[in-house]
Amino acid sequence: MIAEILSVGTELLMGQIANTDAQYISRRLSELGVSLYRHTTVGDNPGRVKEALREALARADVVITTGGLGPTEDDLTKEMVAEVFGLEMALDEVSLHAIEAFMERVGHPMAENNRKQAWFPAGATVMPNACGTAPGCIVERGDKAVAVLPGPPHEMKDMFERRLAPWLARRGGAHIESRFLRIFGIGESAVENRLRDLFHADNPTLALYCGPGEVQARVTARAADAESARAMIAPVAEEIRRRLGNHVYGEGMDNSIERAVFERLRDRGETVSFAESCTGGLVAARLVSVPGASAVLGEAHVTYCDAAKARVLGVREETLRRFTAVSAPCAREMAEGARRVSGADWAAATTGYAGPDGGADGTPAGTVFIAVAGPDGATVEQCRFNGSREFVRAVAASWALNALRLRMEALS
């Protein structure tokens, strides 16, 4: 099945808001095994919406629209779908009563223009909106269909999961299952080279998604039922783990390197502390974002200037004078000091030049030293990241967490 996404809204074209709806739907269609080749965005203009719908239907089996379902005059997505399919608009009494009940629940009077949201192309399958006043619908004619979703992300996601995803699965005629492996410390091209032959299979399929500092491998199988699909995925996932080794840190779309670190610390009954310079607290913040982080993190220190590194962490004046604050010896002493003053089992430290300038000695911007101190001593890694100041800091925080993960795994 081939799908296209048609996003309706002048605010999207003007850049006033980001199109997170299309991002979410794209990811979910991929998980469902639905092919997606195009996104289109149009403003709230009836003629252009109709033109975009006709063009998309000429290419795709299913067109998924977002936006244009509000009560105002320029919210015309359903009306344009009806015109393209040559259908009249019809009032759905169930939707009207649901809108009235919603407005009463939130304490707002029912405006006359809200009734507009209860009208649909004749014969449409209505998708109730559990989060707002704009129901969606699915309109089918022959082998073509248009699924109309609301624009607000929380409403769109809820409707997609409750209503549209099951419909897509039924229309596809098979069960689609996906498994995501999270990979860190190796680039996308290197991952592709190691897994090259696995990309040639038709079922299961393998795809890579690249993010800052990491890669996700998605293995998707199509089968008659969930159990059969999982059985097809399992040997491919295990082969990926075998070839990539400890670069694979976990599974799941919602997993993260900070969650992996938290779970390992929690399972081991151990604690960690951080000493940060160039990352300015980002490493600690990443771990704190995981619920339950207080079980493994007691304290962290942002020692941005040399005096703080010496006073708080005990970095020697000789080290700072001889090697500077951006050096392997300084990073090592920062990690050792953080572990000592906190009493934690582990400590990780970062120091470097985030940019835009490098060091006076010619050390380039993006140079970061990451140290991890633990029960078996301290190690230091020199990294070089290319990008903006914000990018360098964010990726350095991820690499520090991954360095901590690898040290813990080495002691397992």
pLDDT tens for each residue of 227-271: 999 999 999 999 999 999 999 999 987 789 999 999 999 999 999
Q: What is the DSSP letter of 195?
A: H
Rounded CA-CA distance 94/99 in Å is 9
Question: Chain-centre distance of CA 69, in angstroms?
Answer: 26
Q: Are 313 and 341 in contact (CB under 8 A)?
A: yes
* Single pTM value for the model: 0.74
- Pairing verdict, β 272-276 and 214-223: unpaired
All residues at 6 or more sequence positions from 104 whose CB lies less than 8 Å from its CB, including other chains: 110
pLDDT in single tens digits along all 412 residues of the chain: 899 999 999 999 999 999 999 999 998 887 787 889 999 999 999 999 999 999 999 999 999 999 999 888 888 999 999 999 999 999 999 999 999 888 888 788 888 888 999 999 999 999 999 888 899 999 999 999 999 999 999 999 999 998 999 899 888 777 778 899 999 999 999 999 999 999 998 899 898 888 777 999 989 888 888 899 999 999 999 999 999 999 999 998 778 999 999 999 999 999 999 999 999 999 999 999 999 999 999 999 999 999 999 999 999 999 999 999 999 999 999 999 999 999 999 999 999 999 999 999 999 999 999 999 999 999 999 999 999 999 999 999 999 999 999 999 999 8
Rounded CA-CA distance 27/41 in Å is 18
Rounded CA-CA distance 300/216 in Å is 30
Among 347, 199, 212, 351, residue whose Cα is nearest residue 280:
351
Cite the residue boundaries of each domain of the chain with CATH code 3.40.980.10.
2-172
Q: Are 365 and 357 in contact (CB under 8 A)?
A: yes
Rounded CA-CA distance 353/368 in Å is 6
Query: What topology does CATH give the domain 265-410?
Result: Maf protein (3.90.950)
Would you call the peptide bond into 356 cis, given omega within 30 degrees of 0 as the criterion?
yes
Name the helix (H) or strand (E) containing 372.
Answer: strand 367-374
- DSSP H helical segments within 118-256, as ranges? 153-159, 165-172, 188-195, 226-244
Orientation angle between helical segments 328-342 and 306-313, nearest 10 degrees: 40
**Residue 339: CA count within 13 A, CB half-sphere:** 21
Q: What is the largest CA-CA distance in the chain?
A: 83
pLDDT of residue 44: 93
Say how many C-beta atoms besides its own lie within 10 A of residue 409's C-beta: 12
- pLDDT digit string, tens, across residues 93-151: 999 999 988 888 878 888 888 899 999 999 999 999 988 889 999 999 999 999 999 99
Rounded CA-CA distance 316/309 in Å is 9
Q: Are 264 and 271 in contact (CB under 8 A)?
A: no
Q: Class assignment of domain 2-172? A: alpha beta
Name the helix (H) or strand (E) containing 106.
Answer: helix 93-106
> Helix, strand or coil for residue 139?
strand
Burial class (CB in 10 A: 0-12, 13-18, 19+), 51: middle
Burial class (CB in 10 A: 0-12, 13-18, 19+), 334: buried
> Helix, strand or coil for residue 218?
strand
- DSSP H helical segments within 251-323, as ranges? 257-268, 282-288, 306-313, 317-323
Q: Are 326 and 359 in contact (CB under 8 A)?
A: yes
pLDDT of residue 176: 78
Q: Across the strands, what pairs with 175?
A: 223
Q: Are 140 and 180 in contact (CB under 8 A)?
A: no
Name the helix (H) or strand (E) containing 337.
Answer: helix 328-342
> Helix, strand or coil for residue 269?
coil
Cite the residue boundaries of each domain of the chain with CATH code 3.30.70.2860.
175-251
pLDDT of residue 27: 85
Query: What topology does CATH give the domain 175-251?
Result: Alpha-Beta Plaits (3.30.70)
pLDDT of residue 107: 82
Rounded CA-CA distance 382/394 in Å is 16
176 phi and psi angles, rounded to 5 deg: -110, 130
**Residue 407 in tokens:** 């040290």
Cite the residue boundaries of each domain of the chain with CATH code 3.90.950.20.
265-410
pLDDT of residue 240: 98
